[in-house]
Structure 1
Amino acid sequence: MADPHRRKPPLQVVREGNPSKKPIREGVKVPPSELEEPNWLDTFPAVRGDDRQRQINARCREIARREWRRVVPVLKLTAGLAAVDTQVVQDYCICVARIDQCEREISAHGMLIQGERGWMKNGATTIAGQYRQQLARYIGELGLSPSARGRLTPPEGGDDGDDDDPFD
C-alpha cells in the first residue's frame, strides 16, 4: 500500500491533472556549461591489420562526431546542458553510429544470412533493434523529439537580449 504522506512525482501530478493546483516542485537545477566533445578514437579505435574493421570504426567516428556537432548546439538552447550530461550525449551519439553500422551490415548482407544450419536472421537486425530501443530512451531524456521537447522547460537566464533567437 502506498504511503499517503509521500509526495507524488511531478510527472504523475501533471498526468493526473493537478486538481488541487498545488505548485509542482521542480527537479534539481544544474548550471549549464560547455561540453567537450569526446575523443571518438577512444570509442572507435583505429584497428591495425583489419582493413574492414578500420573502415567501420572510421565511419562510426565520423557519424558520432557529426551527430555530436548537430545536437549539442540545439541541446544547449533547449535543455541547458551541463558537464554531467556529457556521458548521456556521448552514449546517444554512439547509438546513432552503431545503428548506422548495423544498417550498413544489413544492407550489405541482407536480413537473412546463410548459416551452418540454413538461413537465419542476420544478427545485426537484433542489435539494431536493441540500439533503437536505447536511442528512443536517449531521445526522450534529451528532448530530441517533438513530444519530448514539449515536456522540457528551457533553461532560465539565457535571455541576453538577442532578438535573433528562434526560441523566443
Structure 2
Amino acid sequence: MNLADGVNPLVEVPDMPKHLSREARKEWKRITPLLVEEGLIARMDRSLLALYCQAWGRMAELEAAMNAKIETRVRDHGMSYEAAVEYCFYDVTPKGFTQQAALVNLIRAQAEAVARYAGHFGMSPSQRARITPSSNQPQLPGLEAPAAAGWGRFQK
C-alpha cells in the first residue's frame, strides 16, 4: 500500500451514536446524505461526525434558549426587540460593570466548534479546496462507470 496515493475508504454512513441530542440527530440525518453524495464520509468517521453533530445540536439549543429569553423580555416586559437583544446579550455585575452574558459566550464556543469540525468534512468553501473525496464508492447496479479513453487514444 502506497500511502502517498492517499487513503480511500469505502464511502459509507456510520451508525448514529445513541447519545446524540434531538437537534444533533436531525443534523446527522440532514448532513450524511450530502457527505455520501460528495464522497466525504466513511464508517471510520463516526466519532468526528458525532462531535460535529453534537456541537451543532448544542449550538441550536443555545440559540433557541437565547431567542426564548429575548421573546420573554419583549412579551412580559414590553421591551422593543432591539432593547431585549441588548439586555439579553449583556449582564451587569454586582459592582455595576457590563459584561457579555454567559449564554453569548457558550453560543460562540459552540459555533467555533461547529466550524472546526465541519472543516474536517469540507463543509466550508476554503476547506473543500483542500479535501479530496474518496474514490472508493460503492457501485450501484445499472450505473457502471464509463470506460476512460485514456491519454493519446482517439474515440471513433
- Per the normalisation by structure 2, the TM-score is 0.64
Q: What do you get for the CA RMSD once the two structures are aligned?
A: 2.6
* 2-structure distance, mates of 1:134, 1:26: 30
Which structure has the greater CA radius of gyration? 2
Gaps of 5+ in 2: 71-87, 145-156
- Residue 141 of structure 1, CA deviation: 0.5
1:28 and 2:7 aligned: yes
| Residues 77 and 154, structure 1, Cα contact 8 Å, conserved in 2 | no
Q: Which residue is equivalent to 1:16?
A: none
1:111 and 2:89 aligned: yes
* 2-structure distance, mates of 1:115, 1:27: 54
| Residues 98 and 131, structure 1, Cα contact 8 Å, conserved in 2 | yes
Task: Note the alpha carbon deviations across 1:15-46, whole angstroms, 9 max, x for none.
Answer: xxxxxxxxxx343333333311121xx35xxx
Task: Note the alpha carbon deviations across 1:41-77, whole angstroms, 9 max, x for none.
Answer: x35xxxxxxxxxxxxxxxxx32111110011111122
- Identity over aligned residues, as a percent? 25
Counterpart mapping for 1:1-168 below 5 A: 25-39=4-18, 42-43=19-20, 61-107=21-67, 108=69, 110-118=88-96, 119-158=98-137, 160=140, 162=143
* 2-structure distance, mates of 1:95, 1:32: 23
* 1-structure distance, mates of 2:58, 2:52: 10
Gaps of 5+ in 1: 1-24, 44-60, 164-168
- Per the normalisation by structure 1, the TM-score is 0.60
Relative distance call for 1:27 and 1:124 in structure 2 (3 A) is farther
